[in-house]
A = this chain, B = another copy of it.
Amino acid sequence: MKPNFSLRLRIFNLNCWGIPYLSKHRAGRMERLGDLLNLESFDLALLEEVWSEQDFQYLRQKLSLTYPAAHYFRSGIIGSGLCVFSKHPIQEITQHVYTLNGYPYMIHHGDWFCGKAVGLLVLHINGLVLNAYVTHLHAEYSREKDIYLAHRVAQAWELAQFIHHTSKKADVVLLCGDLNMHPKDLGCCLLKEWTGLHDAYLETQDYKGSEEGCTMVPKNCYVSQQDLGPFPCGIRIDYVLYKVVSGFCISCKTLQTTTGHDPHSSTPLSDHEALMATLYVRHSPPQQNPTPTQGPAERLPLINLLKEAWTELGIGIAQARWWATFAGYVIGVGLLVLTLLSVLVAGEVTSDVAVLLWTPSVGLILGAGAVYLFHMQEAKGLCRAQAELQHVLGRAKKTQELGLEPQVAELLGQQAENRVEQ
């Protein structure tokens, strides 16, 4: 049994916009970020888009006294961009790289090269086990024609599953990061419903910061109107989410965001706004019913979300298969052209043109081959997520058919086991 105590946790989250050579005033912003973190002395600072490991090493050195523990999550070709600084010793570290993360040929978007991931830290604070997750999902470049929607939904599901399966013995679960999803987006709702995580912005008793909790605001000089798309007043895509197990209760005393400008400087810390939350974890007597069951009314949203996600992934699978088939046809045409060119060269008819056409033909075949393999793998990845959703839906249906109400809750409400007692 845990002792009767109250724990205050001060959390900082920021997408740092730290792209070497491309992000404006990077060095200066990193320096000011370090100063702020040292001054405020949070329990945990979770950062995204620290793309340069040198920036991490700079911060590590600068913060070494205030935050003795730090970790940089490496993945992909460029890196995950994720790192953490902690006042408390980090007991355990692991990470999970998302199966799907955009397309390698969308070089100008670049997400594929980053190896987007979720990092996990296990901390023991005053005998309490805290699982802190930090993540960054695929960006949304166009809300109207979002070609990455299926990937982002799959990432949200993988994130929810990773948290669900790795946090079963944690007392407190904390997820911070840039989800690249608005609060009511499918992936965001699915994540919150499946894990039982609560949104600090919606739960806090005292909010100070940008309007409606937005983390990308037009006031920020690094944010263009294009970044905000059809939301000129700003968007909320960065989050502090949390939950505790039965026996504890958690509350968000204060939540603060930066507001697009730094009072001590002419430029803000990043193109995103920082989130600063103060959470209180207290001991609370165990509930009489230790496994809270959800009534059908409360369960319905989750089932609907699972179905909606299943459909969205299905659209993604159809598209992936279309591209694989198209690439297959291109390979066929390329091989045909190559054979024809070989015949022409062998027959010494128009050999110059034939030789000139060799390069694009071989390139076409190799390129189409790579596209084919990539989309086959994409379809497999989406099918995998869809099969997991199907499994959950199948079990819910079977149990409902049998009329076994409590078991439905057990199956679908596992995410509710460790729900917050507010």
Chain A interface residues toward B at CB < 8 A: 71-77, 79, 89-97, 99, 113, 115, 120, 161-162, 165-166, 168-169, 352, 355-356, 358-359, 362-363, 366, 373, 376-377, 380-381, 383-384, 387-388, 391, 395, 411, 414
Q: B384 touching A95 by the CB < 8 A rule?
A: yes
Kindly report how many copies of this chain are found in the complex they form together. 2
Kindly provide the distance from the CB of A43 to the nearest chain B CB, expressed in whole angstroms. Answer: 19
Q: A391 touching B120 by the CB < 8 A rule?
A: no
Q: A94-B162, A95-B384, A165-B166 given. 7 additional CB < 8 A pairs?
A: A75-B99, A75-B384, A77-B373, A77-B376, A93-B391, A168-B168, A359-B362
**Cβ of A411: which chain B residues have Cβ within 8 Å of it?**
91
A99 to B363 alpha-carbon distance, docked (Å) = 29
A376 to B113 alpha-carbon distance, docked (Å) = 11
Decide yes or no: A75 and B161 within 8 Å by CB, A90-B391, A92-B414, A359-B359 being known contacts: no
- From B75, B383, B395, contact of A89 by CB (8 A): B395
Q: A94 touching B381 by the CB < 8 A rule?
A: no
**Cβ of A91: which chain B residues have Cβ within 8 Å of it?**
395, 411
Q: B71 touching A387 by the CB < 8 A rule?
A: yes
Instruction: Tell me the interface secondary structure of chain A in the complex.
Output: helix
A91 to B398 alpha-carbon distance, docked (Å) = 12
Q: A75 touching B358 by the CB < 8 A rule?
A: no
- From B90, B113, B120, B169, contact of A168 by CB (8 A): B169
Chain B residue at minimal CB-CB distance from A166: B165
- From B90, B94, B356, B381, contact of A75 by CB (8 A): B381
Which 6 residue pairs across A and B have the least CB separation, nearest first? Answer: A168-B169, A74-B384, A165-B166, A359-B359, A77-B377, A74-B380
**Cβ of A95: which chain B residues have Cβ within 8 Å of it?**
384
Q: A384 touching B73 by the CB < 8 A rule?
A: yes
Chain B residue at minimal CB-CB distance from A386: B74
**Cβ of A115: which chain B residues have Cβ within 8 Å of it?**
377, 380
**Cβ of A363: which chain B residues have Cβ within 8 Å of it?**
362, 366
Chain B residue at minimal CB-CB distance from A122: B165
A165 to B411 alpha-carbon distance, docked (Å) = 21
Kindly provide the distance from the CB of A98 to the nearest chain B CB, expressed in whole angstroms. Answer: 10
Kindly provide the distance from the CB of A112 to the nearest chain B CB, expressed in whole angstroms. Answer: 10
Q: A71 touching B391 by the CB < 8 A rule?
A: yes
Kindly provide the distance from the CB of A163 to the nearest chain B CB, expressed in whole angstroms. Answer: 11
**Cβ of A359: which chain B residues have Cβ within 8 Å of it?**
358-359, 362
Chain B residue at minimal CB-CB distance from A113: B373
A395 to B97 alpha-carbon distance, docked (Å) = 25
